[in-house]
Amino acid sequence: MLPKTPNRPPSPPRYQARLAESEEDLIAAQRLRALAFFGPQVGDDSATPGSERLDADDFDRICAHFLVHDQRDGQLVCCFRFLPLAAGTEIGRSYSAQYYELSGLESFSGPIVEMGRFCIHPDLRDPDILRVAWAAMTAYVDRNGVELLFGCSSFKGTDAEAYLDAFAMLKDRHLAPKRFLPRVKAPSVFRFAQKLRRKPDAKRAALGMPPLLRSYLLMGGWVSDHAVVDARMNTLHVFTGLEIGAIPPARKRLLRAITG
């Protein structure tokens, strides 16, 4: 008879998410954002020669910030910020409202949260990082009774031709309900719902879809009918909404299990 294998405690998770608690935490997030959004050689437009490269704006002071660290060495591997709003009547305070006309969401009566500046260290590809980040946000949503999560989901670069199948897929399957559909506000946009007449190639669409947006869509999220051309961030971004009540129960269980 083989000897019994001794019971071993489960290994601690490699990644852990927590809220920023200090100015140093915020600066670490701004540093990672600068690296992820602008690369190692380009910093924030407001930076002066010799200063540290940071991605910072006025919204940082009114948002809370989640940080995801690698437990092995303490490296900051992911961060995002969020802005809690009591209801849709406050949506004009959001970052997204600078780029989208969001009056259709003003009638949303429950608590809502804007999730923004999401980034993962550009040298890392571990899908568990994204899962842990979503699990942390899920726990926050559960604790606070949030009914709608929204933000801007970005495609790298400003050339829409590289993502036509992805945009065609968004048009065919993932447009916002008409009552919530954001209207055009930004000066430069790509109106993919009006312009595209192609049938999307599912494989190319999936390859072109940013991971964060893909996660939103898998949970039942929806998008605006146009993309904003953001030259400063070198992105095309779509407004993205996720009604918490629409998330499939099986996916909710998976996300909650990660936090457990």
User: What is the CATH classification number for the domain harbouring 126?
Assistant: 3.40.630.30
The segment with the largest mean pLDDT, out of 42-51, 111-120, 131-140, is 111-120
Residue 116 lies in a domain: yes
Residue 213 lies in a domain: yes
Nearest residue to 247 via CA among 172, 155, 146, 152:
146
Q: Say how many domains are in the chain.
A: 1
Residue 103 lies in a domain: yes
d(CA 197, CA 72): 49
Residue 6 lies in a domain: no
Residue 30 contacts residue 36 (beta carbons within 8 Å) = no
Assess whether pLDDT exceeds 90 at residue 97: yes
Residue 5 lies in a domain: no
Assess whether pLDDT exceeds 90 at residue 58: yes
Q: Which two tokens stand for residue 17?
A: 């998410």
What pLDDT, on a 0 to 100 scale, did the predictor assign at position 14? Answer: 94
Residue 116 contacts residue 82 (beta carbons within 8 Å) = yes
